Structure 1
Amino acid sequence: MVAGTAEAHTSSDTGMSPEEELPDDGKIFACAEAPYQGVNSQEAFDYSSDGKKISMRVGPVADTLEALHAEDEHFDIVFIDADQRDAVHYYSFVMDNHLLRMDAVICVENTLMKGQVYLENVSDENVILPVQSGLSIVRRIPVPPDAVIESKEEVVRDDVFWGYNRRRILDRLRLDGKVAYVTGGGQGIGRAFAHALGEAGAKVAVVDLVLAKAEAVVSELSLKGIKSLALAVDVSKPEDVQRMVDAIVARWGTVHIACNNAGINLNSASEETSLEEWDKTFSVNLRGLFLCCQAAGRIMLNQGYGKIINTASMASLIVPHPQKQLAYNVSKAGVVKLTQTLGTEWVDRGVKVNCISPGIVDTPLIRSKELRPLVQRWMGDIPAGRLARTTDLQAAVVYLASEASDYMTGHNLVIEGGQSLW
């Protein structure tokens, strides 16, 4: 959300108006002192297809700020023209009444006179960064732990107030400096996990049975500036799993986050399930996952820290229908029990083991003409009224990989739109 004078939003040196650069749910409050300014500005806004994002407020700016405060509005950016007579009062009102969101900024135009800030008799410890001639960026400095806070109410200065280890909650979700791998990372859920972990700051090894798929995801990550590595691995083979871990350690020194996501599903009726199908399913879904947990776990236990996230399934809780998938269901139930066991064995040594159980995920495969009737049946079983998207799972993997989940272990995090409740 943005607030500022009306003149600030009629043009831009970048060739784009601010409302065009806002997200779809963004808002701008434009403040105009004189009625004619409001009319002229509104005419300019109406030319833009994004003009609906702008709320025009006409009248004394001080009154507008009072009204916005009463409406409990908070802003990501506030624009102030220092040439205005009461600019300092506007600035003080915004700061004193906490109209800025956390990490928000104030942009102040016309602040410099001969290269110096010319606001007289103003003492402010907040960051004032002159960006270019006459334009400054102001951002509130976080309150230091030893600061004296004046308040009419007694303030409890504990970890909730300051943040655990003096880190705000969103900072605790960051994965900067961490090394992660994702098996089955070349498509679907694994691809979404790789992007999520990378966006949160981790270096990511994308692991897949097919090297070309892993390389394609690595190419995507590189476009976002994410350090990544493509590896071809058959997780059912111990030598492949060890080679995977060795390659990651050789590149980045260690493994902090193990995302064991590779899996297969071969549907058949129970009485027709062959031993070959049973063994193949368990070889990837449970044996392979165990091998990955063990190989990564040894490194994590040695360093006293690690996060293991296994992909289970809603099928670990219920028997999905009408499809027949005995081997898959049982193997995923095994993933949950393996997770619970390792979660209790390793937690006191710094390694937390959890799993995610997705519901039915929307992929191009299940949108085929042959499976369309089955999809309609599934939709009727899901309270949310839709299939899961891979993006529905991304925040969960970041949470489980971060320090924010340090007290969680052996947990099965179910994300299935409520399907297991019916």
Structure 2
Amino acid sequence: MVAGKNDFETTNAVASDKHNATNYPDTPMEMIVKYLVEAKSAEGLDETKALVQKALDVAGGLDQYIDTMTTPPPQACAELLEESQRHDWIGAYEANKTMYKLKKEMSAGMLEGRFMKMLCHMTRAKRVLEIGMFTGTSTMAMAEAIPPGGKVVALELEQYCKDFTAPHFKKAGYGDTIEVMVGPAAESMKKLKSQKIELFDLVFIDADKGGYKEYYTHALDLITPDGIIAVDNTLMKGRPYIPYELKDCELSIAIQDFNEFIMADPRVELITLPFRDGVTIIRKKRPSPVGQDCIFTGMNDLRILERMSLQGKAALITGGGQGIGRAFAHALGEAGARVAIVDMNKEKAQEVADELKSKGILSTAIQANVAEEKDIQEMVDTCVKELGGLDIAINNAGINKNSAAEDTLMSEYDMTFSVNTRGVFMCCQAEGRYMMKNGGGTIINTASMATLLVPHPQKQLVYNCSKAAVVKMTQTLACEWADRNIRVNCISPGIVNTALIQESKDLQPLVGEWLEQIPMHRLAEVSDLQSAIVFMASDSSGYMTGHNLVLEGGQSLW
């Protein structure tokens, strides 16, 4: 039996039976039912009134309490909400400025806007399609959650509404984020499909109810494979499941028809939430894997971006207190890993760990000198204790003294190799021993573009040699440990624009000459390396080992 066609008396009886069977209501709605059921069998008028009052207290306080327990909107959005409520919409219609009689009650309120903003955050939506904008309160709320470069495309029938919202969008700083298309929504959706534009991560339907089925059908062609469709008003004051309330109510009949239509669609799965007037969340089911290969289903049933995830992994980064190491830490943490920040300077390590914690990333700070074997073993042990394991190790700590060969002191030579080469080997050794006993892992060593050419005009023979040894060490370990499920790779950045260069009196004057040597005519930023380190640490690079990944803007080509 289709839920929307249940007889009201049957529904009421089921509710009564549930109450009598469990006698333990959980939800506000179950509490209301409990009080009303008891009121039906109450012996006197006073008892009946008291029970009805309790039901009213639960029902009447719910929306207000939810409003109170929801983060309020920013000032710009609050101003738009206020203007939407006091605007003379009837006057606009009577002056022939709108095609339809618009009412302030049709405007999405604060709560609906906060809900859609949170849904954008949860789905990490970058592109949103809104069908039915009206006063733009939900439009602006969703724009708050869109990352830089994202877009909210709002379909609106009334030019008047576009003109009404435009100054508010501009004042809030969303003039370039929000694009309003005026015209019948179905026609606008057909136009979007014909343009073969980038697909949307989230589609929000809140327009004329009679058009819901057509909007939904078009939306399925406009969302990404993991996209979400959110449909408003799908409970329509409760009428879709109360037959006698449907009589002569065209909108309620349209909603009931739509609900049954999507419920019968085998391509999707959905959930209807009793939020305000009902919101239904819809997603496409993944195609059946039966008879398909891993290219179709995704390796291990994971789509390509899912294979980039580091969720559940524990990572360690030496030299993580600043510069490249700090960038690596943030990248791995954002990809889902738990992160141990290792640095000689405990305060710097703690600062980065605190940064990650502020983003909701589990992290810990560890003090260690990678030139000391005792420190390295303690580093691994602490990481395992604090993070529950070690799956990814980034050996990034290093030094560069920049001295001419004829002037290099042996103490400088020994110190450079002690940190850059011996230290990396001892880290790999301690990390590898743990990984061998615990199912494997991934080790990534930081080498340098100097392993491919001789950087100039700066003099750094010892540094170049120490990093060249790291590449050969990486290749050798990759071969020795491949059958132990341990991948060993290295990353070789070009000249990176870090504080070392920005604050150095000797290096800063060389920047102009370096730029002439780089085809891209800019130094690397630490952010340029972040995606690369996530790729190397993730299952997406599962067949890559012994590789030196070079990111130097083409400098080694000239």
TM-score, structure 1 as length reference: 0.91
Would you say 1:413 and 2:549 are equivalent positions? yes
Q: Deviations over 1:123-151 (max 9, x none)?
A: 2342234261224242324325346xxxx
Alpha-carbon distance change, 39 to 302 in structure 1, aligned in 2, over 3 angstroms: same
Would you say 1:209 and 2:344 are equivalent positions? yes
Alpha-carbon distance change, 129 to 36 in structure 1, aligned in 2, over 3 angstroms: same
- Choose which of 525, 535, 540 in structure 2 pairs with 1:389: 525
Once residues 8 and 35 of structure 1 are traced to their aligned partners in structure 2, the CA distance between those partners, rounded to angstroms, is: 10
* Counterpart for residue 153 of structure 1: none
The alpha carbon displacement at 1:272 in A equals 1.0
* Counterpart for residue 468 of structure 2: 333
* Counterpart for residue 52 of structure 1: 176
Preserved contact between residue 82 and residue 110 of structure 1 (Cα < 8 Å): no
* Counterpart for residue 200 of structure 1: 335
Preserved contact between residue 134 and residue 161 of structure 2 (Cα < 8 Å): no
Where does structure 1 lack aligned partners over 5 or more consecutive residues? 148-155
Alpha-carbon distance change, 327 to 61 in structure 1, aligned in 2, over 3 angstroms: same
3-state SS, counterpart of residue 169 of structure 1: coil
- Choose which of 537, 544, 547 in structure 2 pairs with 1:401: 537
Give 1:130's aligned amino acid: L
Preserved contact between residue 237 and residue 277 of structure 2 (Cα < 8 Å): no
- Choose which of 281, 284, 290 in structure 1 pairs with 2:425: 290
Q: Deviations over 1:340-392 (max 9, x none)?
A: 00111111220000000001111123123723321111111111111111111
Once residues 509 and 280 of structure 2 are traced to their aligned partners in structure 1, the CA distance between those partners, rounded to angstroms, is: 57
* Counterpart for residue 70 of structure 1: 194
Alpha-carbon distance change, 285 to 47 in structure 1, aligned in 2, over 3 angstroms: closer
Would you say 1:22 and 2:146 are equivalent positions? yes
Give 1:300's aligned amino acid: M
The alpha carbon displacement at 1:227 in A equals 1.3
Preserved contact between residue 8 and residue 79 of structure 1 (Cα < 8 Å): no
The alpha carbon displacement at 1:339 in A equals 0.3
Tell me which of the two structures has the higher relative contact order, counting C-alpha pairs closer than 8 angstroms and 6 or more residues apart.
1
Preserved contact between residue 176 and residue 202 of structure 1 (Cα < 8 Å): yes
* Counterpart for residue 152 of structure 1: none
Alpha-carbon distance change, 36 to 228 in structure 1, aligned in 2, over 3 angstroms: closer
* Counterpart for residue 319 of structure 1: 454
Task: Say how many residue pairs are matched.
Answer: 410
Once residues 45 and 399 of structure 1 are traced to their aligned partners in structure 2, the CA distance between those partners, rounded to angstroms, is: 37
Give 2:228's aligned amino acid: V
- Choose which of 387, 397, 402 in structure 2 pairs with 1:252: 387
Where does structure 2 lack aligned partners over 5 or more consecutive residues? 1-126, 242-254
Preserved contact between residue 312 and residue 332 of structure 1 (Cα < 8 Å): yes
Would you say 1:110 and 2:233 are equivalent positions? yes
Preserved contact between residue 103 and residue 139 of structure 1 (Cα < 8 Å): no
Preserved contact between residue 449 and residue 550 of structure 2 (Cα < 8 Å): yes
Give 1:32's aligned amino acid: E
3-state SS, counterpart of residue 265 of structure 1: coil
Alpha-carbon distance change, 237 to 107 in structure 1, aligned in 2, over 3 angstroms: same
Alpha-carbon distance change, 131 to 278 in structure 1, aligned in 2, over 3 angstroms: farther
* Counterpart for residue 360 of structure 1: 495
Q: Deviations over 1:59-117 (max 9, x none)?
A: 2222111110001122122221254321111112211xx21013222221211134467
Structure showing the higher strand proportion among its residues: 1
Structure showing the higher helix proportion among its residues: 2
Once residues 35 and 216 of structure 1 are traced to their aligned partners in structure 2, the CA distance between those partners, rounded to angstroms, is: 51
Identity %: 50
Q: Deviations over 1:308-328 (max 9, x none)?
A: 000000011111000000110
* Counterpart for residue 373 of structure 1: 509
Once residues 146 and 187 of structure 1 are traced to their aligned partners in structure 2, the CA distance between those partners, rounded to angstroms, is: 45
* Counterpart for residue 90 of structure 1: 215
* Counterpart for residue 142 of structure 1: 285
Once residues 190 and 272 of structure 1 are traced to their aligned partners in structure 2, the CA distance between those partners, rounded to angstroms, is: 30
Preserved contact between residue 27 and residue 53 of structure 1 (Cα < 8 Å): yes
TM-score, structure 2 as length reference: 0.70
Once residues 170 and 315 of structure 2 are traced to their aligned partners in structure 1, the CA distance between those partners, rounded to angstroms, is: 48
* Counterpart for residue 350 of structure 1: 485
The alpha carbon displacement at 1:221 in A equals 1.1
* Counterpart for residue 227 of structure 1: 362
Once residues 36 and 86 of structure 1 are traced to their aligned partners in structure 2, the CA distance between those partners, rounded to angstroms, is: 21
Pick which of 181-190 and 42-51 moved more: 42-51
Larger radius of gyration between Structure 1 and Structure 2: 2
The alpha carbon displacement at 1:23 in A equals 3.1
* Counterpart for residue 119 of structure 1: 256
The alpha carbon displacement at 1:161 in A equals 1.0
Give 2:256's aligned amino acid: L
Alpha-carbon distance change, 131 to 264 in structure 1, aligned in 2, over 3 angstroms: farther
3-state SS, counterpart of residue 545 of structure 2: coil
Pick which of 132-141 and 223-232 moved more: 132-141
Once residues 453 and 352 of structure 2 are traced to their aligned partners in structure 1, the CA distance between those partners, rounded to angstroms, is: 32
Preserved contact between residue 9 and residue 30 of structure 1 (Cα < 8 Å): no
Alpha-carbon distance change, 304 to 46 in structure 1, aligned in 2, over 3 angstroms: closer
Pick which of 224-233 and 260-269 moved more: 224-233
Preserved contact between residue 227 and residue 284 of structure 2 (Cα < 8 Å): no
Alpha-carbon distance change, 114 to 135 in structure 1, aligned in 2, over 3 angstroms: closer
3-state SS, counterpart of residue 28 of structure 1: strand
* Counterpart for residue 224 of structure 2: 101
Preserved contact between residue 135 and residue 164 of structure 2 (Cα < 8 Å): no
The alpha carbon displacement at 1:5 in A equals 3.4
Once residues 94 and 363 of structure 1 are traced to their aligned partners in structure 2, the CA distance between those partners, rounded to angstroms, is: 46
Preserved contact between residue 235 and residue 274 of structure 2 (Cα < 8 Å): no
Preserved contact between residue 82 and residue 88 of structure 1 (Cα < 8 Å): no
Once residues 129 and 313 of structure 1 are traced to their aligned partners in structure 2, the CA distance between those partners, rounded to angstroms, is: 54
The alpha carbon displacement at 1:6 in A equals 4.7
